[in-house]
Structure formats: structure tokens, C-alpha cells
Structure 1
């Protein structure tokens, strides 16, 4: 019976082979759609720990088959069976994985807002993607708050459009879209005669929260407001009022956050907590647009920064703006007189100079050019003691943009 079984298996294997017995399957080819396709091939011969089990069943029929425990197979992606082809001739080429583009959630297109003869915002176009923080920078009167109010649907643009998740923000759609937005205004805007808890309860009802007390308690605890829950808003300091306003904006766990100076007036400990909270919201997929005068905060938090001054002056990653608009420099300290190696460095960076014990080397592409500088110094016989890059701060980029004529 064992021989018959082996013959049966061989017969089926032969049927799957090509006409010349070369082992090519006549089954329909499989082509890969997205991720890797993992195929597990079982050997025909059994094995024990140190050798294969003999095909002669008389000697090894009762021997155990070793099957080491494996992790459960994960889904390897969708596959497509191609019809109408045989063998390799019918197989289609594999499709390379397409890069995933970030999804824009907020899109401002040509936003313009005029107040009488004054233009506060002039033809501003940008987007905020899912899971991204964009910082709005600009001097006082640059149009940051006006831009945020147009995006929140509180004022209508004179020209241009706002789109939220593919839906244009209009008077008809505004009510529904605003329910997805958490908006922190320039001033807290609390009801002075109501307690902190009552202020939050009013907005919980506006947001339509089914069980308002639970998110209210969470918000109070997050911003260390529990001891002040029953205090009237009029009795709170400016920083405490700001915390209540932040708690109100985040009460319904919105997918979109528009924050006007979110850490203004907060002490360092609470400021750190707010930053951590915003990072958590970003990781959860929220789209966050915040205005700030704190350039250090923008550099810590923002994936991209937008510099406004009436119009949009620049929009990019902080590192990309620094590289495009400023020049970094490399400070190298060598043993002995640095001037002895100045000529070797100037072959790469003509503006290199000596400043005390250091060679000061301005470089446009600091990270890429540093290895060549060090190599040239070593080749010239220098004993390199220290290499220190100096990267311009975001403040330098900002001042250059807003002060350009």
C-alpha cells in the first residue's frame, strides 16, 4: 500500500510537470500585487535530526517526522491568478509597490481676506496632511489668526476655498465639518460665571457627546484642572484659563486641531505636557495646524512650517528651509597651527578661514561635504582633534524671510 501511495503521488506530480518532465507547473501563474508572496515548499523526504529518513519504509516507516514549531504565517498580500496563460509565457511582470502619498485633510486654496481696504490674508495656498503638525509663523498682523478663523469656518474668505476631507467648507456644510474640528481661539472665550466643569459641560453638549462626564474628567486630569473644577472661570489666572480652553478644544477627540498660540501663558511643565499631547494626537492620525511665536516650539513639534506675512512666504520642513536659505559651517580643531592646513581645506571651500584654534569652513551642504573636508585634512598630515557642525537656527531662517524686501 505504501508503494501504491508513492506511485499515486508520483503520478500526480508527473501530471503537474511539463511535457518534458522539467518540473514546470501547468497551473495558472500567480502574479504579485503588493507585498512579498511567501511560498513554503515541503521536501518529499522525511528527516530525522541528523539525516534524511530512508525511502525504504521497511527501515524507517515508524520514525517520527520532525516539524519544528513555526510562527503563524502572516497575511502576505493579495495575489492575482492570471487567466489565459500557461507556464512562464503567460506570467505578467511583477508590479512594484507604489509609494503611499500623505493624504491632505485641510486644503486652503487661494485664501484671501479683506477688511475694508486692508488685505489681511492674500492668496494663501497650503495643505495639512493626516498625522502632521504644521506651524504657522509670522510677525504680529501677518494673518495667522485670520487664516485659522477662515479654516474653522468662523469667517468667510473674500476669495478662495477651504476643503476639509474633500468637502468644501460652505455655509451649508459648515455645521457638520466644524464638529470634526477642535479650535483654540486667540482668547480663551470662557463663560466667566460658570465653573470650569460647567464650561466644559456646555461644549460637551454642543459636540453631542453621549457620556460627557467621562471625557470631562479625563480633560480635567490631563491639564491638572481637577482641583479647580468647581472654580468660576472669572477667578482663574490667564494660564489657567488657557488650560481650560485647551481642554475644551480637545474634549471630543477631534481629527483636526486648529490652535492659536496653544502654549501662550503656560508654565514650562504644562507646556511640555501640551507638546506631548499634541505629539500623541499626531501619532493617532490627527491633522494639526498651530500658530506660534515660539520658534523653538515650532522646530520641536512641526513637520513643516509655513511663514506668513500677508501672503505665504515659505512652506517646507525646517531642515529644508535652513538648507535652502542659510549656510551652515564646520568648525575643525587640529593639533598645532590650523593655518598650516588652510590651503588643503580651501580646495573644497574657498571661504574657509582661521578663527583662533579652529578652522571655520562655511558649507552649503554641511552633511554631505564634511567627510571630504576631514579626508583632505588627514591627507595633508593634520591630526584632527574635533569636528563640530554649526547648523543655523530656525530663527535665522524666519528673520531672513520676513525681512526680505
Structure 2
């Protein structure tokens, strides 16, 4: 079976417009978060990861009626397509598999009050609530007409999209696959929802909000963004002399089968996924899910200690850009591709590791050769997913 490799990628994140700006943020450990103000509730401002661009016009095409999450995905996908020279493949042999968690929640909130007034109801209202608009719109924007799936598995959605894309390529169903995730969740429904279950940071100080690996801080920083990858078989990449950025060695994803708003507090489900993903590989480092939620971060500590002891360093990029739900796994993959290409481990910023002193956390940028990275993701939907990325 031929290796499945990455030949292109695109990213839109807070303070990040392309791979070079992302490299700068990661290498220097820059926090790109800001204050999200609520004009209707002046005392309820929160720290969040905001993107300035509206993506209303992309490459001369008007996308004003498309949900914000879809617009970000299209912009990132176009960058990935250009990097990989995707035009080489026949349109019906290119698949699109995109993941999301919150979908078009911003637009649903915006038009909710008009939902019962036929005259005011937007003509594109049906498309807004149809989450498959995401993958269909990315396919249309890139001119592809192959298989298209939208994955809605919460915070693991983009890792799950990579897994499906890998399987499609291994089966021979397609020749290239556009995979990734996008989320624009910075609306009141999402904010109130995560405040209600007490996992969203309510700090108004950027340095104290969304602190990974710390028992002195509580809650994560909500963010928006999109990450998109182009996958293909190694044989085709070599045949067309296309640069290969990394290999998808293994992906494992499972659901815990827990009740609503519940999760496995023992960490055993995540441990099994982590160990099966690694196999016999000792990664250069772990690009971690850790985001400032105590249970999640303790599970990250548990699976690393049980599997690698103190021998494998671990880091989290979420102190820099926040947590962008279903897009985050793809962003962590792109971060890891940059680590392999430029030889460094990005730092975990904001934290001094209180309560995690026995964990080999990377606090300062560490310049070294990176041969492999394990990416971990898990979320409230009960999914646990890990991906092992290696050099070819």
C-alpha cells in the first residue's frame, strides 16, 4: 500500500494569514489573542482568537452569502490547492472531506429572529443550516466534482477528515483529497454554552486566559480559523515532482460512548488511541490537545506518562492562537509540518506548569531536528483522535 503524503496546506488563524506568518508566531511564541467585546453586555467581554479578515471577496469572487466558517475554509483551501498544484488531477478524482463543530452558528444566530417571518427569511437560509454546504462550497470554489463529505465530530473533526481522506486514497477511489476543518464559533450561543458548563475562560487578562498545563488557571480561549491539507499517494507526488511536506503514518479515532456532556475521566479511552497511533514509534514531540481545561490537560499528562514517561517532550500551541474547535487538529498538523521543515519545537506559552512539574513541557522554542510528531485531539462529543506525522 502506497504512503499517503501531504503536498499542500493552507491556514487562516488569529494573526496568521499563511504558512510564513504561522511560522513566525510558532517560532517566537507569540500570543495572537485579543479581547472580544459584547456591546449588549459591556461587562461580559472575553479573551478570544479573532481573525480580522471577513473573506467576503476571495480571488475576485463574492462569497457574502456564505457562512463565515465556509469562507475561511475556501480561502485556506485555495492556498493549499495552489501549493500542491492540484490542477494536475482530474476534477472527478479529487475528494473533499471537511470537518466542523459549530458549523454556521453565527449566521443561524443572526437570522434566528427572522426565521418565523417569511418576508425577512434569507433566500440562502436552507444552505446556512445545511452543514454540507461546507464541503460542497470548497469543491465548487476549487472546481472539483469528486466525493465530498462533511464531518461533524466536534473537536476531532479535522483529524477525522484526514482519516477518511487517507482511506479514500488507500482504496484507490480518488487520486487527491482536500481535507481539514473550519470553525467560526464566536457567537453568544457558543460562548454562553461553554460558560454554562464552566470550561470557557472568563479571564479578561490575555496572559491569564486559556493557560495549558496549569492547575492555577481555568478554562480555554475560544478561537476561529481554518486549516486545510492536500493528501495524495507518494507515488503520484514523486511522479509529478511535487514537494512532500510529511507523511500520514497512522490515524486512530474512537468514540467513548458516554452520556451527553459526560466524558471518560480515567483517560483509558484516549490512552488506547494514543498508544495504537504511536505503535513502536517514539515521536520527536507531542503536539498536544492541552488547552486549559483541567480534565483534558490531566488526560494529556496521563497518556504521555503511561506511554513515554519523561522521554518525549510535549507542547501546546493553544496559548498562542486559542482553540478553534473542529479546525484545531488540522492547525496542529500544519504546525507540526513547519516544525519538521524548519527544525524546531514551538513553546507552550503563558504557563509555568503548575501541577504538571513531572511533565516534559517545552516552555521555550527548542531548535532541533524533528522526525515525527504525534497530534492529539479530544472533545465534548466523546471522540478521541490521534495522528502520527512523519518525514518521508
Does TM-score exceed 0.5, indicating one fold?
Answer: no
Q: Which structure is larger by alpha-carbon Rg, 1 or 2? A: 1
> TM-score when scaled to structure 1?
0.23
Report which structure shows greater RCO (CA 8 Å, sep ≥6). 2
